[in-house]
Amino acid sequence: QNRATAAKIVYPQLTIRECLYLGGFEDEELDVIPNQKYSWRTSYVQLKDEIVSKVKKYDPTPPASRKKTTWVEIELLIRLLDEEDADCQLVFGECGGLLTQFLEAAEGRASQGIFEKPLRASTKRTNEELGTTFDDGGQQPAKKQAHLEVAENPLELADLDI
């Protein structure tokens, strides 16, 4: 898994599944459902979430206090991959030959405008998307704005049969 995380950090254009293949995982391992109660949560989903979390936390200038063996190993792998004459076989073992194929496929996807979905896109809608504004230029939801318009004209309130 550390090899897959290092691959995703060094080669962000690769998909998570390609990074897992480089890390030595196979489809049979990735498609296993560890808990039958949650049949959608395969080993791939669990590994993907862990890799995404580590990639988000990665800082190229780590504090000197970070001494967890996973981060030490990931940083060592990253340094090996960043070298100009990096030996992919040294980092990825027998899966190192796949790297050139995956990089070519990623380049093909980029040339066609196909990019990986954002890792965790926010679903919160902004006020600009709602299309409402305050008089002072700020934003306000449409429901509240409609109530303000009715309250601003007291004559209309008198005409209503309430």
| Residue 96 pLDDT greater than 50, yes or no | yes
Task: Give CA–CA dist 70/88, Å, rounded.
Answer: 20
- Mean pLDDT over residues 101-125, rounded? 72
Q: Which amino acid type is present at position 55?
A: V
Residue listed under structure tokens 């040294």: 90
For 155, other C-beta atoms within 10 Å of its C-beta total 6
| Residue 138 pLDDT greater than 70, yes or no | no
Q: At what angle do helices 43-57 and 2-10 cross, to 10 degrees?
A: 50
Q: DSSP secondary-structure letter at 80?
A: H
Q: Give Cα separations from 37 to 20, 76, 79 (angstroms).
A: 25, 38, 40
pLDDT tens track for 38-91: 888 889 999 999 999 988 888 777 666 567 777 888 888 888 888 877 777 778
Q: What's the pTM value of the predicted model, to 2 decimals?
A: 0.63
- Mean pLDDT over residues 128-144, rounded? 52
